[in-house]
Structure 1
Amino acid sequence: MDENKVRELYAANDISEVYQNLESSENGLTSAEAAKRLQKYGTNTIKKAEAEAGWKAFLKNFTSMMAILLWVAGLIAILSDSVELGIAMWLVNIINGLFSWWQERAAKRATDALNQMLPTYVQVLRDGKKKQIDSKHLVPGDVFIVQAGDAIPADARLISATSMQIDQSALTGESVPESKVLKYDPGEGKYAESNLLYSGTICSAGNGRAIAYATGMKTEFGQIARLTQNEEDTESPLTAELSRLTKQITLIALTIGVIFFFAALFIVKYPFAKAFIFALGMIVAFIPEGLLPTVTLSLAQGVRRMAKKHALVKELNSVETLGETTVICSDKTGTLTQNQMTIHYIWTLKNTFKVTGDGYVNNGQIEMNGQRIFYEQNPDLHRLVQIAAMDNDTEVEPAKDGGKPKILGTPTEASLVIMSQKAGLDIKRLLVKYPRLRELPFDSERKRMSTIHRWNDTEAIIMTKGSFSDTIKQCSQVMVDGKVRPMTADEREHAKRVNADYAAKGLRSMAMAYKIIPKNDDLQKMSIEEAESDLVFVGLTTMSDPPRPEIYDAVKRCHQAKIRIIMVTGDSKLTAKSVAVQIGLTSDQARVISGNELEAMSDHELREALKGEVIFARVAPEQKYKIVKTLQENGEVVASTGDGVNDAPALKKADIGIAMGMTGTDVAKDAANMILTDDNFASIVAAIEEGRAVYANIRKFLTYILTSNVPEAFPSILFLFSGGAIPLPLTIMQILTIDLGTDMLPALGLGAEAADPDVMSQPPRDRNEHLMTRPLLLKAFLMYGLISAAIAMGAYFFVNYQNGWPMHALAANGFVYIRATTMVLGAIVFTQIANVINCRTNKTSVFKKGLFSNKNIWYGIVFEIILYFILTVTPGIQSVFNTTTLGWQDWLVLFILPIPLVLLEEGRKWLVYHKQWN
């Protein structure tokens, strides 16, 4: 429902008109009417978007461009009597498809997150009586009861409320609970109406009754869910790039295949069928059949490494997307900050005390001039700490198993409890000594809370805490050094200046005051105005949700990596900017845009604003979504972090959505691509580093794989242009042996290569930059590839030379021919050993990085040597792959081959990148 219409019908209207609009009453609905409405409006549940059918999710792993090409090529091979070749190609698709499907199935943790956010049961008034029902049967017009700790089951208008505090952080990102009262106040920003409750929020204190006006998908919660569900999954940059690369390679391979088909027909005079098989061999030589499984396995390795760094990735391709992230849209509360209100300073007219220790952990202490001070040592501190502890309805239960303490109440009051403990106060003993006689609960109009306690046999004490501006005006006296005297105008002005200075630093202040009165029977009848007049001002406490300790270094590393961080929060402009400047996110000159200002901006104005230093405060869920969408329109690759329901649409829209695993709602986790198990922003930086390394490694093994295409294709080229005078030095099955057998594990080893030291000192990769670049092709085809081809053909001619060539023609069959093709295959395998070692680094010496530091590569090298040995000595396999047993001299030559190639590349790196070696 439109926000303005909601305010008009349910917030601004008198409660009697709300009853009339909803055709209900203060006694709720009858059971019969509730049943009718349940039929009309449906259940109070959040409907999830229809998941992709299981068989569709399975089949999509077998229908990529590369997979289709291999299916077709395999079929053609089988129809052309090359059954082994066709089966081999199909096996590639089957293995890779099954692996991709299983990996993504294991990585995704799809949960029925939206329904889990709603309470199971709710107390309603039906037929004028209290009744407990399943929350999914709640309907518009139902009157329900709210108590501390309850989750709100529907959007509702308050009917009654006592000291009600609602935690709306899941919707707004605001860490401080909202006070809810019967009187309408529109508040600042969305969801700020003082008399409305929203589905999915939690009552942290107080109690009351409310009448539901929206349930299920009609609630604000449901609207956010619909926005999230309607957002289509975007294709990852790596998926798009692999698709493009596949099309390029396919076009090249098919073009070469057609050219060689006609050349075989008209130059070599092959019959049609034989020419087709020959052309197919050229296509096979140029299609890197091992590319898809190698990329998939490399990404899977990246997923495992990132999991060790507290980042769970739900989809493989999200790993690489992180590497090209240019902007992180980050929530503040719980992401950049600890989501724990913490007292930092205590101020009295005479002294300023520093409170050490973080959050709700019962550590730290109260200090003055760097020395610990207990509350008994200073009379003003003594009284202030007493007020903070006694004028308080919150309990803090000790942490269990190293976790966070349990807060029974509000975060603000919890911070006062912890402060009192740090001062050395035993709160339980204090409350036994000075028992509470009466409470004057907090409300949003006077913004104060007071409690009355027995002070001694004849006196009582009224303790008051509240906002500075609303409390100081009730004070006529002041405590200084334990003595009470009238407050002067200068002292009042000084306190106001101090409070303003704290506010400018983004700190929230709370004033403490008291007065001692005679103890009599009139205490229960005393009005609030009388109780909170002529108070004694004691001092201030200042608090904030502090930044995470590790955030400073994480922000610095992002800036070094040329990654912008834009804070997008539901908190106030002042608090947002204060935190952003404090942690180094932005300079003090950053522009702060509120949700209302954003609403009034044109698309062009927003695009321009997003190009500079900017912070967004008091934003609504659809506005977070709009910010992410506009950044993407500006050409940015956007990572969006968050933990609340309000973050889910932006998480879904972003190129990479990152949810908090510990404090995040299930809705946010369901929408995200990645989940941080430690809620640590620094883990994002580690994940980005891993993402960049993964992409660099994909390029490395792309270079490695493409290099072997040249020596695989060169024998066919010689055969063709010699008019068949040079018998085919390498068979199609031998080509597949290289692509799918010997090359595979070393390529996977490259996928596990550690990131280069300067990977986070470089700007993000340009999204228009492709995997297959000109330098990569030059290195693969014209340098590594030609060298490998020359060595392979050298081996072929050397075997023939040993058997009488050139006096006799090159062997076209028999033992000499088989031995020659075996040596060609071996030469390619062993030059690829040198190639994989050379590909490990781009600029630095592989010896500097550690020749044996990547054990996975060496496992792959050992595997390919053993596999090649098996192919050459096993009788049944020899006939399929056209190989034979080699002598020890042949093996010696093959083992020596990689050494000069590695040294040659080391020399080239030294000449070109000499500075990198220093």
Structure 2
Amino acid sequence: MITDNQPEKLKGLSDEEVLTSRANFGKNSIIHEEKNVFLNSILEMVIEPMFLLLIAATTIYFITGDYGNGIFMMAAIVLISTISLYQESKSRSAIQALKKLSQPNSKVIRNGEIVEISSEEIVIGDLIQTEEGTFIPADGVIIQSNDFAVNESVLTGESMAVFKNESALTNTVFLGTIVSSGLAICKVTAIGNETQLGKIGRSIENIVVEKTPLQVQIGSFVKKMSIVGLVIFGFVWAINFYNSGVVLDSLLKALTLAMSIIPEEIPVAFTTFMALGSWRLMKMGIIVKQTKTVETLGSATVICTDKTGTITENKMSLAQGYLYADDSIITDFSSELSIELLTIAMWASEPIPFDPMEIALHEAYTKLDIVDERPNFSLVHEYPLDGKPPMMTHVFENKNGTKVIAAKGATEALMATSNLSEKEKEQILTAMKTMALEGYRVLGVGITNFQGNDYPQKQQDFKFDFKGLIAFYDPPKANIKATFETFYNAGIQIKIVTGDNAETTATIAKQVGFRNADKTLNGDELMAMDDATLKTRVMETAIFTRMFPEAKLKIIKALKDNNQIVAMTGDGVNDGPALKSAHIGIAMGKKGTEIAKQAANLILIDDDFSKMIDAIAMGRKIYSNLKKAIQYIISIHIPIILIVFIPLALGWIYPNIFSPVHVIFLEIIMGPTCSIIYENEPMERNLMKVKPRLFTTTFFKLNEITLSIIQGIVITLGLLFIYQYCVTINCSEKTTRTLIFLTLITANIFLTLTNRSFYYSIFTTLRYKNNLVLIIISATIAMTASLLFIPLLTTFFEFEKVSGVQLSLSIIVGFLSVIWIEIYKVYKRRKVPQA
């Protein structure tokens, strides 16, 4: 059996032996069939409707002998493809970095010391230490163990835990199985593809990742627009062919309109926003395991948080004790009774402590002026933490056969297993409440005698001699008060869900400015409620105490039934189901078990709960900026479509004002604007002072999409005004095309600036820190100027030099067709003042 000092006797591999083993057997990773990601990206790109339209237009140019336009279109195809592949590569790199960070770590013994390394770094021959709540990182054989049980359902399908030890029959462990209880040290015999899981793991390659609701909506929108484009394409082709009788020329003009209709920037923008948003969160110390979680973050309405380690520091110090024998609360552990109480509490702890309370007990025991008996005793039987409320029991024995059977846990649990009168129970509860009201975490302590080795199946079947209470102080985190206040201002409810008692939790809660700390509910009361009652109570209650896994799940379900978007923090084995059930499961990176990390959607690397402010703010920012980008795309596509379609459909003098080269030039400008400028936009200052957005299946509200359509129509009216102005003063087709193009470019620039916020004015948003705005707008102006002042390009694009008056008119009309939105913003600010 493992005692507190035995692992130090196991040396493990040396650094040289690790390098040799890795050179011989490789890394501990399951290597699937290598796929050519770059080739797949190209294949996906070439079947996109926009790409096919570009190829068709280019082919027609070459067939008709228009090599200049054909070469330009080929260059445009290469440029757009390069931009798309770069953006996809950037997104993929961000996701790969996240995957690497979310890989589990493992404890190994090397050079005689226990160290924590990435599971991928484990080599054959390593000694791994596995304990309750961790995944076994490789196949191996058990060297030493304490009450060790493993859930092997991933391999066998059997959900019951299997007890294992050093005996030849049950001494093997396998990659991917979960430690249900106890602790073991195992020697690694197989890694990566050579493990049992690795040999059957090829099926993982065939798993298809489902699309999120937002992805489905966006995909559906683009598909519908493509169908609309196909229908109008046929209609326009027919009109042009009827007018000209030339098949290829009419086809080319119809392709121009089809290209203007398809909003292929939208799916690119979505992928870029989500992947880079996850990457930005990673840089903040928040691992997002799946980029789709970013969609949900901005909608969170309730955060269920644990007390210990989330609200508090999780740095336990022994504060007080209660001696049942003389009914006294003590702070000094030097008397005989207090030494006995502390010693029993230590024996009720793990021999290798990792829980902060057990570490505090071992440290306090070490400081006692008595002989240290720990080296003389071995753990021979263990009852892990269980029960409602929970307790745990350890059985130690020395070489002489002397046993120590010690238990600790919730005060009520220890009292229930002891022979106490009602008066004695009241006496103990009074002491417990006195300690709890000072914010201490209180545990009951007991001891019993038992002969033989035929131990009861349940620890509750023992009859314990109740010895007293041990109280620990875990101070609140320094920043937790400000964190809570930020969540409250953001319209997010906070609920504390803890295994501790109501008095201790409420005291700590009040110290940190937690609201409604007096509205509590315990686990037993919660389980006794029917669904309808709980649905009401769960919204009114702020603190849930004496919680256990089933009760936590009921809380999550009841909140969901109230249409709440629930975030849940957790770190233990028992938190796994609730983390999985919550919309946003949040695990702690340092003290969280691997089960909790695997079940969660987010991992806070430094266990800093205040990082959730950053996570939710980032979720809101990404969603808000993505909407701005898509609204921009819709608004700017409408005038392009209509200025191509209306003159043709109505038989105006210049029916084909734009050709494919003009549309593709606009696409080159619009792509970076929507997916680079808006992705890099800072968060608006009121975003964390408004209520969470409703998490619905509809991306846009009716008023939002209506506003974008109106923006597009007003810009179209501006273009049509310029068109009619040119016709009235007998401008040539090239001059008309030039002025309309300049008006559209001007409108595009100011649309980019005004749509940076639909609340704050352009004068406010101009002060936002986003250097990409200046860079891309400057590049747009420079490119447009080159079309006007470089004769070769002016001729190629079928433009014409225009006068200063005409140029000014285009700029003024483009400006006015967009800037009216600022009047709407003034109205909105007056109607909905900043929170």
TM score, norm. by length of structure 2? 0.67
Tell me, yes or no, if structure 1 residue 613 matches structure 2 residue 538. Answer: yes
**Match for 1:54: what amino acid?**
K
Give the deviation of 1:293 after TM superposition: 3.6
| Distance change (3 Å), C-alpha of 1:449 and 1:508 | farther
User: 2:763 pairs with 822, 844, 847, which one?
Assistant: 847
**Match for 1:867: what amino acid?**
M
Matched-pair contact (CA < 8 Å) for 1:288–1:705? yes
User: 2:54 pairs with 71, 74, 78, which one?
Assistant: 74
**Match for 1:735: what amino acid?**
V
| Distance change (3 Å), C-alpha of 1:780 and 1:540 | closer
**Match for 1:236: what amino acid?**
T
| Distance change (3 Å), C-alpha of 1:282 and 1:630 | farther
| Distance change (3 Å), C-alpha of 1:845 and 1:145 | closer
Tell me, yes or no, if structure 1 residue 755 matches structure 2 residue 683. Answer: yes
Matched-pair contact (CA < 8 Å) for 1:157–1:197? no
Q: 1:608 & 1:512 partners in 2: Cα distance?
A: 37
Matched-pair contact (CA < 8 Å) for 2:138–2:176? no
Give the deviation of 1:741 after TM superposition: 1.7
2:523 alignment partner in structure 1: 592
Give the deviation of 1:277 after TM superposition: 1.8
**Match for 1:507: what amino acid?**
R
SS of the residue corresponding to residue 658 of structure 2 reads coil
| Distance change (3 Å), C-alpha of 1:152 and 1:900 | closer
User: 1:790 pairs with 695, 717, 721, which one?
Assistant: 717
User: 2:750 pairs with 824, 834, 854, which one?
Assistant: 834
2:472 alignment partner in structure 1: 543
Matched-pair contact (CA < 8 Å) for 1:253–1:283? yes
Q: 2:149 & 2:723 partners in 1: Cα distance?
A: 77
2:456 alignment partner in structure 1: none
Greater shift in the superposed pair: 103-112 or 675-684: 103-112
1:685 alignment partner in structure 2: 613
**Match for 1:509: what amino acid?**
L
Pairing 1:216-615 to 2, within 5 Å after superposition = 216=174, 219-221=177-179, 233-266=209-242, 268-313=243-288, 315-325=290-300, 334-335=309-310, 338-346=313-321, 411-416=356-361, 431=369, 494-495=427-428, 497-499=430-432, 507-509=441-443, 540-543=469-472, 548=477, 550-551=479-480, 554=483, 557-558=486-487, 561=490, 588-590=519-521, 592=523, 613=538
Q: 1:765 & 1:877 partners in 2: Cα distance?
A: 49
Matched-pair contact (CA < 8 Å) for 1:507–1:575? no
Give the deviation of 1:160 after TM superposition: 11
Matched-pair contact (CA < 8 Å) for 2:136–2:173? no
User: 1:811 pairs with 720, 723, 732, which one?
Assistant: 732
**Which runs of no fewer than 5 residues in structure 1 stay unpaired?**
1-45, 124-132, 139-143, 172-189, 200-207, 354-365, 367-374, 395-405, 421-426, 453-461, 476-487, 514-535
1:104 alignment partner in structure 2: 92
Q: 1:491 & 1:629 partners in 2: Cα distance?
A: 39
**Match for 2:250: what amino acid?**
A
Q: 2:466 & 2:523 partners in 1: Cα distance?
A: 35
CA deviation string 1:376-413 (max 9, x = no partner): xxxx777788778888979xxxxxxxxxxx98666334
Q: 1:231 & 1:637 partners in 2: Cα distance?
A: 27
Instruction: Supply the RMSD in Å over aligned alpha carbons.
Output: 6.2
User: 1:716 pairs with 627, 636, 644, which one?
Assistant: 644
Matched-pair contact (CA < 8 Å) for 1:156–1:211? no
Give the deviation of 1:291 after TM superposition: 3.0
1:869 alignment partner in structure 2: 785
1:63 alignment partner in structure 2: 44
Give the deviation of 1:436 after TM superposition: 6.8
**Match for 1:613: what amino acid?**
V
**Match for 2:36: what amino acid?**
W
SS of the residue corresponding to residue 320 of structure 1 reads helix
| Distance change (3 Å), C-alpha of 1:323 and 1:609 | same
Q: 2:102 & 2:718 partners in 1: Cα distance?
A: 60
Give the deviation of 1:471 after TM superposition: 10
| Distance change (3 Å), C-alpha of 1:666 and 1:154 | closer
| Distance change (3 Å), C-alpha of 1:708 and 1:902 | closer
Matched-pair contact (CA < 8 Å) for 2:305–2:570? yes
Q: 1:295 & 1:649 partners in 2: Cα distance?
A: 30
Matched-pair contact (CA < 8 Å) for 1:873–1:884? no
Q: 2:446 & 2:261 partners in 1: Cα distance?
A: 79
Structure label with greater radius of gyration: 1
1:215 alignment partner in structure 2: 173
1:706 alignment partner in structure 2: 634
Q: 1:300 & 1:114 partners in 2: Cα distance?
A: 18
Give the deviation of 1:637 after TM superposition: 5.6
1:480 alignment partner in structure 2: none
SS of the residue corresponding to residue 279 of structure 1 reads helix
Q: 2:626 & 2:567 partners in 1: Cα distance?
A: 21
Give the deviation of 1:619 after TM superposition: 2.9
**Match for 2:222: what amino acid?**
T
Q: 2:469 & 2:659 partners in 1: Cα distance?
A: 85
CA deviation string 1:663-682 (max 9, x = no partner): 34567656755432222233
Greater shift in the superposed pair: 287-296 or 324-333: 324-333
User: 2:826 pairs with 897, 906, 910, which one?
Assistant: 910
| Distance change (3 Å), C-alpha of 1:332 and 1:409 | closer
1:858 alignment partner in structure 2: 774
| Distance change (3 Å), C-alpha of 1:641 and 1:728 | same
Q: 2:207 & 2:485 partners in 1: Cα distance?
A: 33
**Match for 1:748: what amino acid?**
I
**Match for 2:51: what amino acid?**
W
Give the deviation of 1:835 after TM superposition: 1.6
| Distance change (3 Å), C-alpha of 1:211 and 1:715 | same
Q: 1:213 & 1:78 partners in 2: Cα distance?
A: 68
| Distance change (3 Å), C-alpha of 1:575 and 1:822 | farther
Q: How many residues align?
A: 721
**Match for 2:40: what amino acid?**
L
**Match for 2:549: what amino acid?**
V
**Match for 1:907: what amino acid?**
I
Give the deviation of 1:841 after TM superposition: 2.0
Matched-pair contact (CA < 8 Å) for 2:135–2:594? no
TM score, norm. by length of structure 1? 0.62
Percent of aligned positions that are identical: 20
CA deviation string 1:502-524 (max 9, x = no partner): 579893335699xxxxxxxxxxx
Matched-pair contact (CA < 8 Å) for 1:437–1:451? no
| Distance change (3 Å), C-alpha of 1:410 and 1:722 | closer
SS of the residue corresponding to residue 751 of structure 1 reads coil
SS of the residue corresponding to residue 471 of structure 2 reads strand
| Distance change (3 Å), C-alpha of 1:586 and 1:89 | farther
Q: 2:422 & 2:567 partners in 1: Cα distance?
A: 52
SS of the residue corresponding to residue 708 of structure 1 reads helix
| Distance change (3 Å), C-alpha of 1:903 and 1:437 | closer
CA deviation string 1:661-716 (max 9, x = no partner): 33345676567554322222332232122112211111112222222223312332
**Match for 1:309: what amino acid?**
M
**Which runs of no fewer than 5 residues in structure 2 stay unpaired?**
1-26, 62-68, 113-121, 153-158, 181-195, 384-391, 399-403, 448-464
Matched-pair contact (CA < 8 Å) for 2:315–2:356? yes
**Match for 2:756: what amino acid?**
R
SS of the residue corresponding to residue 170 of structure 2 reads strand
